Amino acid sequence: AKGFDVQAIRRDFPILSQEVNGKPLVYLDNGASAQKPQAVLDAMDRYYREMHSNVHRGAHTLGDRATTAFEGARETVRRFLNAGSTREIIWTRGTTEAINVVANGLAPRLKEGDEILVSHMEHHANIVPWQMIAERTGAKVIPIQVTPEGELDLDSFNSLLNERTRILALAHVSNVLGTVNPVAPLIEQAKKFGVLTLLDAAQAVPHFQPNMQELGCDFYTFSSHKLFGPTGIGVLYGRAELLEEMPPYQGGGEMIERVSFERTTWNVLPYKFEAGTPAIAEAVGLGAAIDYLNALDRPAMEAAEMALLERANELVPSVPGLKILGNAARKVPVLSFTLEGLHPSDLGTLLDQQGIAIRTGHHCAMPLMDFYGVPGTARASFAFYNTLDEVDQLFAGLQKIQRLFT
């Protein structure tokens, strides 16, 4: 075992060693966007210094270098997901666009009365695209209920799954609660009804490595910027047979085989879904982020993350009036909370004054806020580079704020 030296790891992330408001930065907003290791910055810099050109043009050496780097990153993603083929790895702008590509692509299969199952804990990115498609096709979007602990209500799932269900679209991990949903058995059940399945893995992949062969989902989506890579790029994994049948999302260059005014035909996978010049340096950066993660001792890293969550849970009672939303049996290190007598956004500002970055608001999950009867929460979301000391600082900060402002 390589073990896990968090101080050494922190040195790989230049942004972490700075002061904010006169205090050492404690970055606990990783669920919104994670920081980037030097290896990612270097890979993108080197790409622009030595390789940049447009891809897939093949006319000169730089074009070949750029194409090799770009397609190499696609292969890195394929291996990360254990997908069968790079034909199944589509670059998108992020999770949001990936889900929109799928919703748009499945629309021709939907008709009046068909049902799309989502859950009450989804991010808006996994609700609104389905609502837009439902509007176009006459299908209905139906939410699976959530328990007060913040887990999917399996009775609700079982009672809603039926012959009318066409699509099941679920968060692999909740961005608000950190709940890891038991997606594999749900997918298996859905398949008995011929239902197509999509997972929103934006909050899953930063914490554990998924396996497409084991999960059995039809579509899997995530964003690079939450996986320690750059913004502006993300991934749609889709089963090749389904991608073959789906209409393209956007038209333009790259995505065609032949264009004429009589008849235009589509390019092969994955290019059919990649109209226009792609985010080349960003793909290279994401590849470097995955290489960086692959070099870590993953079991040790996951154990270190669980230790952060345990420490946080131990400290919760030390702050009077602090309430945690959800308490799932299986979760990643994310805590959503309210503090009695203080608005979440004031809480965020007061913590920021102590150098502690968290997120406040509805977290793009308004239905879940409604379920818990709160307008918003404060959320601390941890990454493997956070330390137990930072957990202690968060709670020391909360204790101080509780004493002085409530």
Interface with ligand PMP by CB under 6 A: which residues? 94-96, 123, 125-126, 171, 175, 200, 202-203, 223, 364
Residue whose CB is less far from ligand PMP, 223 or 338: 223
CA distances 99 to 219, 247, 268, 382, Å, are 9, 14, 20, 25
364, 369, 378, 394: which one is catalytic? 364
Q: Check if the beta carbon of residue 359 is closer than 8 Å to that of residue 29.
A: yes
Nearer to ligand PMP, 115 or 200 (CB): 200
Nearer Cβ to ligand PMP (74/123): 123
Minimum gap (Å) between residue 94 Cβ and ligand PMP: 3
CA distance 263 to 273: 18
Nearer to ligand PMP by Cβ, of 67 and 96: the residue is: 96
Within 8 A by CB and 6+ apart from 323, the residues are: 337, 338, 339, 340
Burial (CB count <10 Å: 0-12, 13-18, 19+), residue 38: middle
> Min. distance of Cβ 361 from ligand PMP in angstroms?
11
CB of 263 to ligand PMP, least distance (A): 34
Shortest distance, CB of residue 96 to ligand PMP, whole angstroms? 3
CB of 300 to ligand PMP, least distance (A): 25
Shortest distance (Å) from residue 256 CB to ligand PMP: 26
182 phi, psi to nearest 5 deg: -80, 70
What tokens appear for 252 in the block?
């333009």
Residue 267 carries which DSSP code? P
The DSSP result for 105-118, as a single string, is HHGGG--TT-EEEE
How big is the chain by its Cα radius of gyration, in Å?
22
Beta pairing, strands 165-171 & 115-119: parallel
Question: Which lies closer to ligand PMP via its Cβ, residue 36 or residue 123?
Answer: 123
Is the separation of the CB atoms in 130 and 118 below 8 Å? yes
Adjacent-strand bridge partners of 119: 144
- Nearer residue to ligand PMP within complex by CB, 66 or 218: 218
CB-nearer residue toward ligand PMP: 256 or 374 = 374
Q: Where are the alpha helices (DSSP H) in 33-161?
A: 38-46, 61-81, 95-106, 128-137, 154-160
364 is an active site residue: yes
Distance of alpha carbon 48 from alpha carbon 70, whole angstroms: 12
Nearest alpha-carbon partner for 335 in 30, 2, 15, 12: 30
Taking the complex as a whole, the smallest distance from the CB of residue 303 to ligand PMP amounts, in Å, to 24
Active-site amino acid positions: 364
